[in-house]
């Protein structure tokens, strides 16, 4: 556990990453962004950072997803921001619309209660739809059928450090399922019944538990015992999923499919505000070998208000070790030490 950046395999000079080369050294992977037309300037900012620090060397394609058609302006500007291939996809209606078993009046009533408890976006139906899509539907989009790995990119995020190896190939070569940069506690009120539902699911599907799982991490009580109590047994520590580099074979596995279906039927994407971050994190913690989750300490990243900023001469624009640009109390939201306590630093 040296904590050093991964060995720089597959350096640019030894490989051919020309955007149009069908036999390039790229593996089966894509950059993936769910985004709204109104967020054009924000996504351009994210693209510029990721192209400058990494993708101009590798030219992985960009795939944009939207619940409504992309405008010509959006397509033109994003295509001009990279020399890689760019694709635009609409989400099938049946993947986005609110499922038939969700009762609208109950959604509104529940949202009132969540709002009183200061849960953000409680009444914003599209936010709930987005969390559900990111949890269990994005990888079912026909355009992703042939793809295995993705790197999720949101508008208005920053990448600070030059990264000179093919991170997707790193995932494949090192048999990693999931890569993260930031680990945070969640608002327990947004997921009060997620852990109890998960326990119900496990009772009927013990065979899905991975041998070397991270359940002790999920149940950790040390740092925020109040969260364990309010989230009914879950520490709320999760991989912050606005950044994720992952292998879709995991989401496509029987274990995850069964789990997502169970959660979807339970209704918490709408009657509470279950996020894709805790859902993905709990699934990884239970159904995957914990050695297959990787901290990309070398990828300098910010999504307001949190940073991952390594100590390296390859980074520009972030302060080493800084965790938040907000108020000091936000430092308490960091739960990376909790993950390392159970899993180490690989």
Residues in touch with Mn ion (CB under 5 A): 154, 242
State the nearest-atom distance from the C-beta of 39 to ligand GDP, in Å: 5
Distance between CA atoms of 114 and 88, rounded to whole angstroms? 35
* Main-chain phi, psi angles of 137, to 5 degrees: -125, -30
Cβ closest to ligand GDP, residue 6 vs residue 268: 268
Note if 244 is an active site residue.
yes
88 binds, among Mn ion, ligand GDP, none (CB under 5 to 8 A by kind): none
| Closest C-alpha among 75, 14, 25 to residue 47 | 75
DSSP 112-130: HHHHHTT-TTTT-HHHHHH
Which one of residues 130, 191, 194, 335 is an interface residue with ligand GDP (CB under 6 A)?
130
- Cα–Cα distance measured from residue 291 to residue 66, given in angstroms and rounded to the nearest whole number: 34
Among 24, 45, 56, 67, binds ligand GDP (CB under 6 A): 67
Q: How far is residue 340's CA from residue 227's CA, in Å, rounded to a whole number?
A: 19
CB of 8 to ligand GDP, least distance (A): 30
Cβ atoms of residues 5 and 300 within 8 Å: no
Closest to ligand GDP by CB, 165 or 270 = 270
Q: How far is the CB of 155 from Mn ion (least distance, A)?
A: 7
CA 36 to each of CA 49, 65, 128: distance values in angstroms, whole numbers, following the listed order: 19, 8, 15
Is residue 66 a contact point for ligand GDP (CB under 6 A)? Answer: yes
162 binds, among Mn ion, ligand GDP, none (CB under 5 to 8 A by kind): none
Choose, from 39, 51, 197, 244, the residue flagged as catalytic. Answer: 244
The verdict on 53 binding ligand GDP (CB under 6 A) reads no
Which C-beta is closer to ligand GDP: that of 127 or that of 340?
Answer: 127
Residues binding ligand GDP: what is the number (CB under 6 A)?
12
* Interface with ligand GDP, residue 184, by CB under 6 A: no
Helix (H) or strand (E) holding 286: helix 276-287
> What's the full length of the chain, in residues?
346
Rounded CA separation 56/50 (Å): 8
Site residues (vs ligand GDP, CB under 6 A): 34-36, 39, 66-67, 126-127, 130, 154-155, 242
Residues classed as catalytic = 244
């Amino acid at each position: 556990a040296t904590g050093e950046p991964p060995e720089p395999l597959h350096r640019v000079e030894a490989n051919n990453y020309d955007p149009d080369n069908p036999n390039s050294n790229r593996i089966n992977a894509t950059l993936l962004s769910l985004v709204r037309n109104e967020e054009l300037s924000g996504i351009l900012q994210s693209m510029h950072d990721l192209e400058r620090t990494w993708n101009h060397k590798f030219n992985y394609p960009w795939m944009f997803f939207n619940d409504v058609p992309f405008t010509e302006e959006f397509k033109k500007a994003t295509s001009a921001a990279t020399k890689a291939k760019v694709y635009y996809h609409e989400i099938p209606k049946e993947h986005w619309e609110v499922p038939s078993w969700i009762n609208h009046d109950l959604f509104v009533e529940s949202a009132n209660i969540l709002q009183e408890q200061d849960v953000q976006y409680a009444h914003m139906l599209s936010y709930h739809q987005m969390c559900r899509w990111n949890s269990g539907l994005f990888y079912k989009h026909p355009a992703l059928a042939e793809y295995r790995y993705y790197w999720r990119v949101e508008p208005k995020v920053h990448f600070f450090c030059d990264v000179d190896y093919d991170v997707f190939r790193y995932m494949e070569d090192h048999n990693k399922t999931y890569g993260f940069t930031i680990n945070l506690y969640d608002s327990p009120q947004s997921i009060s019944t997620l852990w109890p539902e998960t326990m119900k699911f496990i009772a009927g599907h013990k065979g899905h538990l991975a041998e070397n799982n991270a359940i002790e991490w999920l149940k950790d009580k040390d740092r925020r015992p109040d969260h364990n109590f309010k989230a009914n047994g879950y520490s709320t520590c999760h991989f912050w999923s606005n950044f994720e580099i992952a292998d879709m074979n995991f989401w496509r596995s029987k274990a995850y499919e069964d789990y997502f279906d169970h959660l979807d039927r339970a209704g918490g994407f709408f009657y509470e505000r279950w996020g894709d971050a805790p859902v993905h994190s709990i699934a990884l913690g239970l159904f995957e070998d914990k050695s297959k989750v990787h901290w990309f300490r070398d990828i300098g990243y910010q999504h307001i208000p949190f940073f991952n900023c390594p100590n390296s001469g390859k980074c520009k624009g972030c302060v080493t070790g800084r965790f938040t640009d907000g108020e000091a109390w936000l430092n308490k939201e960091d739960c990376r030490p909790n993950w390392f306590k159970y899993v180490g630093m690989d």
